[in-house]
A and B are shown apart, each in its own frame.
Chain A
Amino acid sequence: MSHNPNAAVHAQESVHHEATPNSKSFVTFAILCGMALLALFVGFSDLGSMKVVASLLVSTVQAGILAYFFMDLRSADKQTWLIAAASLFWVFIMFLFILTDFLTRHLGVL
């Protein structure tokens, strides 16, 4: 493992990174509020069995915007992207196996 021999306790150093400016945060907030209103609009509408699909689609886009801008994924390193993608992949596998079981055994046919 590489180790910097010059690194001392409480050494003063600097690195280039900038926290999100407030103006951009307000724009993200406005978009998220718009998406929340859309989620409620879909929830209050009568779309039948498509309502849950439309609702989850809106929620997924909303969560994506939150992660990309507010959670700063847009300026995250590859390691962070990898771990975020891995968590979704594991959840996908969990859902896949359980839903596969339903789709293959509960179709209501003999």
Chain B
Amino acid sequence: MAASAGTVEGPVAHHFNNMGQQLATVRFGMWLFLVTEVLFFGGALCAYTAYRIWYPKDFEAGSAALNVGIASVNTFLLLTSSLTITLAIRAAYVQNRAALMRYLLLTIVLGSAFLGLKAREYYLDYEEGLIPGPATVMQKRTVMEHGKEVEKDVPVSKFNVALEEALKREKFKGEAGKDYDPQRVQLFFMFYYSLTGLHVLHMIIGIGLLTWQLIYAQIGFFDHQSRYVYIEVMSLYWHFVDMVWMFLLPLLYLAGPHTAGQAVEQFKLALGLAGGGH
């Protein structure tokens, strides 16, 4: 039987008094989980804030070396996935199984595209050597030996060399040791990898759950109208992941000096759409 406008129908589990209580409990359970998530990311961002206050110039230098082009495109991919999952709720509500599956699939595709670009970004960072750590490379440097200046191979921080090259390429105005301390920039990169890594982990879990719901939609689980609430709570989680990104973008990627032209160029280079190296 089709439900009348604004009315939700379906089975009520024995431990609930009525449909209203059942739907409210499902939603409330997800909101309780999201509170733990807010505190989880809140703690990480609090630590970031403390170090950013301490080392503002070093964090700006670190941000200048990041690929803001990929981050900008990823922002719109996530926003669009937030729209498609909202459309999926409506599709489940009006009992349109084909539309529900289409929107769930679109959300998975958009989320996967985000992760694909993120993987490319991580790979380029790794290739460049922008990984904080004690690794060293041998470089010719002028050093004092027995009171004389001589040129010889000495071990230097691999990260510091990579950072200097990346900042030179991005035309960052500033000198290592004077305007920023590369060791402190390593700290920024620790935050960059851990915060974006945690966000990626949440997206992987979200895509897994969406795939599970897609399979359930295929076998007809959501053919009971009241079960649209499970799509709705999934969307709460997905929107929260989007919300976290809304703060990661300005705190990590836009903290340093960037331009729109630079973002476009970085994106093209990352995807091999323009000549030259990254």
Interface residues on B, range: 35 or more
One of A12, A44, A49, A52 near B260 (C-beta < 8 A): A44
- B156: Cβ under 8 A from any A Cβ: no
Most-contacted residue by chain B among A17, A26, A36, A67 (CB, 10 A)? A17
**A13 in contact with B18 (CB, 8 Å):** yes
**B255 in contact with A70 (CB, 8 Å):** no
**Which A residues touch B236, using CB under 8 A?**
71
**A19 in contact with B43 (CB, 8 Å):** no
One of A18, A28, A36, A87 near B35 (C-beta < 8 A): A87
Minimal beta-carbon separation of A62 from chain B (angstroms): 5
Number of interface residues of A (CB under 8 A): 63
**B232 in contact with A19 (CB, 8 Å):** yes
**B6 in contact with A16 (CB, 8 Å):** yes
**A16 in contact with B28 (CB, 8 Å):** no
Chain B residue with Cβ nearest A82: B31
**B16 in contact with A7 (CB, 8 Å):** yes
Indicate whether A14 sits within 8 Å of B9 (C-beta atoms), given known contacts A2-B17, A32-B79: yes
Minimal beta-carbon separation of A17 from chain B (angstroms): 5
**A7 in contact with B17 (CB, 8 Å):** yes
Interface residues of B (CB under 8 A from A): 3, 5-14, 16-20, 23-24, 27-28, 31-32, 34-35, 38-39, 42-43, 46, 49-50, 52-54, 56, 68, 72, 75-76, 79-80, 82-83, 86-87, 89-90, 92-94, 228, 232, 235-236, 239-240, 242-243, 246-247, 249-251, 253-255, 257-260, 263
What would 23 A/B residue contacts be, using CB atoms closer than 8 Å? A3-B17, A12-B10, A16-B6, A19-B90, A19-B232, A21-B90, A28-B83, A33-B76, A36-B76, A39-B249, A39-B254, A40-B72, A52-B52, A52-B251, A59-B247, A70-B82, A71-B236, A72-B232, A80-B27, A80-B28, A87-B35, A90-B38, A106-B53
